[in-house]
Copies of this chain bind each other. A is one copy, B any other.
């Protein structure tokens, strides 16, 4: 299915943060216009659009299209929880790979500040919601199990936040940029759901991100990034036959598919953006992807191995913890960061010599279930 000639020729993002006064289509427009310019194309050069959003209002896709000069182009609005943006990328690359379309835009947009005044609590009718727990509490359950299994001190998780918030302090578009906290500040911040403290939880962000996807043959930019593989796996719900924390099996399956298709191994990955909605999320995901041995991900953050300047930097953008988590936009914000890294355009966050990057986004699933949707993409190049 994966044609080696599918490339990302341009990416763009909005700033991330709270923007309740913005129109949602204005958030998207900032990302779209940057992506189109980056790819050296005009709205009229786009054949189709896949748009990811979770809480965007009904019909938001066409509002975005009209506001960005894309009205009349086929647009498919996708919802896959936190992976909505990466599923849009998956569909965009599939459309090019299968010859359905020549040049496609994937865009993700979310404006949580206009929808939620407090934390997101899954509704009671939802299997996620049956526990009555908000998401930090659900992640805390996984964290406690993980710490128990590996005999680790809870403080080790804090190093993920220190690492990512330092990286985010170098990202001018991050929701929570500014002076990065040290480990004492992370661990000393307000308790949310033990062992997770406030600075170990991602913010609820507004923002947008976009990518232009086409074949290498049509790309006009100088430095297209190749989509080496893009794997999408739906998780199972309830009746899970694993004792692993939720989502781990789904991430493993998506990683296996992505690495197999690309003919690569985790050791080939120079830089990764992955789903650190909470510190424990980065830990479990890093290990499920095979980027390090089980039980070691948090210590590697503490040691600097997964930090900027380390051997395999993870979340150089600041990740969800610092760049922010505008649900439907997150996967494409991750994608934009990896594209910038591979092109050597990541500024102070640049990972030297990165030629293979990984994007992973996990959507939904909690409390004994295995996640809705996981996308793992491997990107390479340019050149």
What is A's interface to B at a CB cutoff of 8 Å?
1, 23-24, 54-55, 57-59, 61-63, 65-66, 71-81, 87, 91, 94, 98-100, 122-123, 125-128, 232-238, 363-365, 372-373
Contacts and interface: CB of A to CB of B under 8 A. Distances in A.
What is the predominant secondary structure among interface residues of chain A facing chain B?
loop
B126 A59 contact: yes
A66 B128 contact: no
Contacts of A23: 125
B80 A78 contact: no
How many copies altogether? Answer: 2
Contact of A63 (B55, B126, B233): B126
Given A62-B364, A62-B373, A94 B87 contact: no
A44 to B, nearest CB: 13
10 contacts: A1-B100, A58-B364, A62-B237, A62-B365, A63-B237, A71-B237, A72-B233, A76-B80, A77-B80, A98-B99
A80 B238 CA distance: 29
Nearest to A231: B74
A380 to B, nearest CB: 22
Given A23-B125, A128-B59, A77 B79 contact: yes
Contacts of A232: 74
A33 B370 CA distance: 24
A125 B57 contact: yes
Contact of A81 (B59, B125, B372): B59
A188 to B, nearest CB: 33
A72 B363 CA distance: 13
